[in-house]
């Protein structure tokens, strides 16, 4: 059990690191006097998606072996907290450069209501999600893996600023990763 927890925490940190650098083209190392030693390319979009999928597969195994006592819905803080988080996600999407074209002409109130309902039900809360299925809801947007990673970064940051714990953030991220193939355009679904 301890080895799995350590492995899972390592994968969480790796995932967070990868998402943190998703928009940076390079990472440079420097000496104490400021001279550049080397420049290392940031992980490619495909590498980042593969890393997320691997992290979530490991997380899924651990969750099955050690399910939490309370639902994700309860641990996040219920419907009002989820709504607050979704409002922040949409705010972040509206200023996130890779997502600007996607957010153009979006009915924000309807988006917030639908995503709130989706996350409430998907996290174990009461009610019913009556919106479109994920493929139909996203098909017209022609989302790429770059969009997916940018949106995921916004979700993580919105949850973090709303006071959610890393375990809850990871669980939501993994829920979204499990839906990637339904929202990303066909040419981007297969990761080499």
CATH number at residue 62: 1.10.490.10
Q: How many domains does the chain have?
A: 1
Residue 68 neighbours by CB distance under 10 Å: 12
Q: Which of 54, 26, 3 is nearest to 173 (CA)?
A: 54
**Residue 31: which pLDDT band, with cuts at 50, 70 and 90?**
low
User: Which residues make Cβ contacts (< 8 Å) with residue 61, sequence separation at least 6?
Assistant: 4
Domain range for residue 63? 2-189
Q: Tell me the whole-structure pTM to 2 decimals.
A: 0.77
pLDDT at 15: 45
Indicate the SS3 state at residue 184.
Answer: strand
| CA–CA dist 54, 4 (Å, integer) | 14
**Measured distance CA(88)–CA(82) in Å, rounded:** 10
Cβ atoms of 71 and 125 closer than 8 Å: yes
Q: Which two tokens stand for residue 106?
A: 């979006």
CA within 13 Å, CB half, 38: 3
Residues 44-93: tens digit of each pLDDT:
888 998 888 898 988 888 777 777 889 999 999 999 999 999 999 999 99
CA dihedral 60, 64, 70, 76 (to 10 degrees): 0
């Amino acid at each position: 059990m301890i080895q799995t927890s350590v492995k899972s925490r390592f994968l969480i940190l790796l995932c967070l690191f990868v998402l943190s650098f998703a928009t940076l083209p390079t990472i440079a190392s420097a000496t104490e006097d400021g001279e550049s030693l080397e420049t290392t390319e940031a992980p490619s979009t495909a590498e980042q998606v593969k890393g997320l999928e691997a992290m979530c597969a490991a997380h899924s195994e651990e969750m099955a072996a050690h399910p939490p006592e309370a639902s994700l819905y309860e641990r996040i803080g219920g419907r009002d907290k989820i709504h607050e988080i979704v409002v922040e996600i949409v705010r972040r999407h509206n200023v996130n450069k890779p997502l600007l074209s996607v957010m153009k002409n979006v009915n924000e109130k309807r988006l917030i209501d639908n995503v709130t309902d989706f996350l409430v039900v998907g996290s174990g809360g009461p009610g019913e999600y009556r919106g479109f299925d994920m493929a139909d809801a996203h098909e017209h947007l022609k989302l790429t893996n770059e969009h997916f990673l940018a949106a995921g970064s916004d979700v993580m940051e919105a949850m973090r600023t709303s006071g959610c714990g890393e375990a809850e953030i990871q669980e939501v991220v993994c829920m979204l990763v499990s839906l990637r193939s339904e929202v990303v355009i066909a040419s981007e679904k297969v990761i080499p």
